[in-house]
Amino acid sequence: MRELYIAGNWKMNYKPGEAAVFAKQIADAVKNLKVKVMIAPPFVCLPAVTEAVKGSNVIVAAQNVNDHASGAYTGEISCDMLKDIGVNTVIVGHSERRQYYGETNEFINKKVLFAIENEMDVILCVGETLEERDSGRLEKVLADQINIGLSGVSENQMEKITVAYEPVWAIGTGKTATPSDADSAHAYIRSLIAEKFGKTVAENTIIQYGGSVKPANAKELMACSNIDGALVGGASLTLEPFLSIINASKK
């Protein structure tokens, strides 16, 4: 049975001091829950947050990572730097990285491969724009993102991969895919993984939903058979909404 996994992507919010206080509040609130919880603060907050949640069951992740070990890559962060401060999980291919910074499926694949080769867990984000959905290209877009993004990954390495389906048109807009639409997309992603790695791997792969997840819709989304959790944006920035989503994930 797949483990439920709720992740909070803080994006470019919070300074180190306030991030540490908030992270400790989350860790205290979820210490007795049987739900996998992750938070991804900005890079400058990572040392303070990892220290604040030390000894808890809260995972701390980075929002991005480079595909090289070191070198002349101004503004970038390596796997070794993250691991040295206790961060072993990274988000790769978020739609904002694709949209604002031109990250391609091929480039994202390099990051995926480098991260898992460095024994890091990866949340690989995939999802279509509204124009792609309306033009009937949903399945083509998802197939490219999965097949290219996971190119070179072995069946055993898929244990390190979580997939997050985030329809781009629903991120930060207040719009949300209907539970039926979201579950259908998750089922299609699972079928792509089955084609590539086999049914067992597909059935064991956690697929989160991301896209304006909030307390009002979380329970209905989490009840869908192919949705294994959520990658939460804005609603992860305050305690009560985030805890409501975590609690709604109890199937």
The catalytic residues are: 94, 166
Q: Do 168 and 127 touch, CB atoms closer than 8 A?
A: yes
Distance CA 58, CA 226 (A): 24
Two structure tokens written together for 172: 């930060």
The number of C-alpha atoms within 13 Å of 166 and in the hemisphere containing its C-beta is 31
- H or E, element range at 59: strand 58-62
What is each CA distance from 180 to 2, 184, 187, 225, in whole angstroms? 20, 6, 10, 10
What is each CA distance from 7 to 52, 76, 101, 213, in whole angstroms? 17, 23, 22, 11
Q: Do 164 and 38 touch, CB atoms closer than 8 A?
A: no
The number of C-alpha atoms within 13 Å of 49 and in the hemisphere containing its C-beta is 25
